[in-house]
Every structure is written in structure tokens, then in C-alpha cells.
Amino acid sequence: MVVNQLRKVNLPSTNGIRIPSLDGLRALSIVIVMASHTVAVFDPKDPHFNAGWAILSNGQIGVEIFFVISGFLITSLLLSELSDTGEISLRRFYLRRSIRILPPYYVFLAAILGARSLGWLTLSLKEWISSLLFIWNYLPSSHSWWLGHTWSLCVEEQFYLLWPLALKGLGRQGAQRLALWIVACSPLIRVLTYFTLPTFREKLTFFLSTRADALMMGCILALCATEPWFQSAWETIGHPTFVWGATVFVLILSPVLFSRFHFVYQMSVGYTLEVLCIGLVLMWVVRNPAAGFGKFLNLPIVAFAGVLSYSLYLWQQPFIRYQGSLATQLPYNLALILLLAAFSYFCVERPALSARRRLRHEAPAMETRHFQVAAGEDA
């Protein structure tokens, strides 16, 4: 069982269901995203504010944390199923992901379509359909703010479609090599894409192919966590000094480097360095949930914010940045986002999750055991 292997290397799960600290990391991610969108309203023109502005407005870090968590959890789930049953059921995986992702997402899209029909916002039907089909990130003509955040959901869905096929077809060792190669080659892929696809330069950072290193970093952690070489290496790289150094680099130094060197830094090595550091922090807080930062991430209120993070991410976009009405002005917009996210979670997400749990109970006993490893499946 993968659960037992994780416990042996100090990756505990609470009651065999939830890996600690990950909901707290989700909470941190959504706070970073919403803070960056909020401060963008007050974009300073004074060049003396460039470094500080870069630190406050770097919402990409929040999205990268989401990606690393996603790769880690999905791979953990698939490996657990493979360990228990000897195979990966693509049908069950896609069904579980659909039930988890689609209901809140399509409710949000229906609300956006309704607002468009009422004349509250301007949005092309083509762009709305591209979000509906999870291809917004590859459509050059899609650029509106209202659905701009769906690029990351498109990347996630494209990852969900391809990664289980890769793991099933290549096996654990083959998938591990593939993930390592993708992380290593991602800077080159981004640079080549920039020069070979000039039409897409405005959306270059929204492609699965240019952001796959974040997802693959999480996959590598799940694939390698039980390997003897990784456990030996962790004795060195898992020292708190390196963890704090990685945290400072991601939250402060890397945004400052971006403000100085712009996409020359970010598109070459910036993104990859960030996700390597995020992966280090993720592994540390999962292994040390009762120490320092890990303890904070597991506070009930922080973990609950992480549970709400998907709905918060969906609903924050229309009400942040533009200041055209009371609903988009501080602090009313934040209260409205919280109310809509709570509605989405309690009235849409939870009923969908209940339906998925009923599917678990209908599966054969051996087949259901693999559901228990992935903390993020219910969050």
C-alpha cells in the first residue's frame, strides 16, 4: 500500500484520508492570487516601488503552488491504485475528476453567461465556449479578464487527460524519467516556443507545454518520495535552512529578479527555479506538520480556507481589479467573493463529492482502497 510506504518516510495521513498541510498550502495559494489581483488596482507608477510591487503582485506563485500540489496528489492517487489493484482505471479516474471539477466550474460559467446576457459584462461567445471546453489557454483571441483565470483550469484538465495515460503506459520508472526530462527541458521549451510561435506570445505562459514543470515537480515528489536515494538526499536538502531559503527565494527574491529582468529571467529559468523551491517547501511541510510553518498550515481555519480555495479561485476573478461598481470595490467585493464561494462549496461541491463517495462504496472493496491516499481528492 502506498499509504504505508508514505508513513515509513514520514508522510503521514490523517486517519488514512488527508495528507496534512496541503489544504493550508492551498489557502496560501489563493491568498497570493487574490492579493495580486487586488493590489493591481492600485498599480503605482513610481519606479521606486518596482521591487515591492513585484513581490505583492506575483500571483503566478500562487498558481504554481496549486500546480505542484495537483501533480503530487494526482500521482499519489494513481500510484496507490496501481499498488492495490495492479492497474490504473482511466474510466474511474476521469469520472472522479469530472465530478470533482465540473459542477462548480459550470455553475460559474453559467453565471458569467447570464451576466453577459444581461449586459453586465462584455464577452465573446467564442471565448466563453473555449473556457467551457478547457481550451481557452490555446486560443489567441481569448483575452478578457472575466475568464482569464480559466487558463490554469485548462492546464489542469489537459494534465488530467494526459498524465494518467503516461503513467499507465510507461509504468512508474518510465513516468519518473519522463517527468524529470520535462522539468529539465522546460526552460528550453519556453524559449523555443517564444521564437517559433510569435502569434501566441501574449499567452505563452498559459500553455500546458510551458508550465508543465510545475505539475511535473509534484509528480516527481510523489514518484520519488519512497525511493531510497530520495530519502538519503532528503537528509541534506530537507534541512530547515534550505527550506527557509527556498521560501524567501519564491516569495521575495524571484519576484524581484522578474521585476529587473522581466521575461528573460522568468521564461528561461525563473519558473523552473520557483517550482523546485515550492516542491522543497511542500515536502517539508507535509513531513513536518507539527513544526513551525507546518503547524500554521494545519490550523483549522487555514485548512478550511484551503478547502474553499477552488470556489474562491473561480469567483474572485469577476469582482477583483475592476472598480466599476460597489460589487468590485473593497471590502464589499471580498465579502461577495466569500459568500459566492461558500455557496459554491456547500451547495455544489459538497453534494458532488457526496455523489462521488457513493460511487466509491459501490466499487469492489479492493478497488476502493486506493481512494484513501489522496488528501486533495476531497478538497
User: pTM for the full model?
Assistant: 0.89
In angstroms, rounded to a whole number, what is the distance separating the alpha carbons of residues 300 and 247? 23
Three-class HEC string of the chain: CHHHHHHHCCCCCECCCECCCHHHHHHHHHHHHHHHHHHHHHCCCCHHHHHHHHHHCCCHHHHHHHHHHHHHHHHHHHHHHHHHHCCCCHHHHHHHHHHHHHHHHHHHHHHHHHHHHCCCCCCCHHHHHHHHCCCHHHCCCCCCCCCCCHHHHHHHHHHHHHHHHHHHHHHHHHHHHHHHHHHHHHHHHHHHHHHHCHHHHHHHHHCHHHHHHHHHHHHHHHHHCCCHHHHHHHHHHCCHHHHHHHHHHHHHHHHHHHHHHCHHHHHHHHHHHHHHHHHHHHHHHHHCCCCHHHHHHCCHHHHHHHHCHHHHHHHHHHHCCCCCCHHHCCCHHHHHHHHHHHHHHHHHHHHHHHHHHHHHHHCCHHHHHHHHCCHHHHC
In angstroms, rounded to a whole number, what is the distance separating the alpha carbons of residues 155 and 159? 6
Domain enclosing residue 44, as ranges: 2-378
How many domains are contained in the chain?
A: 1
In angstroms, rounded to a whole number, what is the distance separating the alpha carbons of residues 67 and 73? 10
Burial tier of 309 (Cβ tally within 10 Å: 0-12, 13-18, 19+): buried
Res 288: pLDDT: 92
The per-residue pLDDT string of the chain (379 residues; one tens digit each, 9 = 90 and over) reads 444 444 444 443 333 347 889 999 999 999 999 998 888 776 655 544 566 666 777 889 999 999 999 999 999 999 999 988 889 999 999 999 999 999 999 999 999 999 999 998 889 999 999 999 999 999 887 788 899 999 999 999 999 999 999 999 999 999 999 999 999 999 999 999 999 988 888 888 999 999 999 999 999 999 999 889 898 999 999 999 999 999 999 999 999 898 888 888 988 999 999 999 999 999 999 999 998 889 999 999 999 999 999 999 999 999 987 667 788 888 889 999 999 999 999 999 999 888 777 766 555 433 333 333 333 444 3
C-alpha closest to that of 374 among 64, 169, 80, 141: 80
Res 369: pLDDT: 35
In angstroms, rounded to a whole number, what is the distance separating the alpha carbons of residues 150 and 313? 9
C-alpha to C-alpha distances, 50 to 40, 45, 58, 254, nearest whole angstrom? 13, 9, 12, 13
CA atoms lying within 13 Å on the CB side of residue 236: 4
Res 47: pLDDT: 47
Res 312: pLDDT: 97
Res 259: pLDDT: 82
In angstroms, rounded to a whole number, what is the distance separating the alpha carbons of residues 115 and 283? 42
Res 361: pLDDT: 56
In angstroms, rounded to a whole number, what is the distance separating the alpha carbons of residues 98 and 94? 6
Q: Find out whether 370 and 85 touch, Cβ atoms under 8 Å.
A: yes
In angstroms, rounded to a whole number, what is the distance separating the alpha carbons of residues 373 and 2? 7
First to last CA, the chain: 22
C-alpha closest to that of 213 among 184, 189, 183, 179: 183
Q: In this predicted model, what pLDDT tens digit does every residue of 199-226 receive, in sequence order? A: 888 888 999 999 999 999 999 999 999 8
In angstroms, rounded to a whole number, what is the distance separating the alpha carbons of residues 348 and 104? 6
Burial tier of 135 (Cβ tally within 10 Å: 0-12, 13-18, 19+): middle
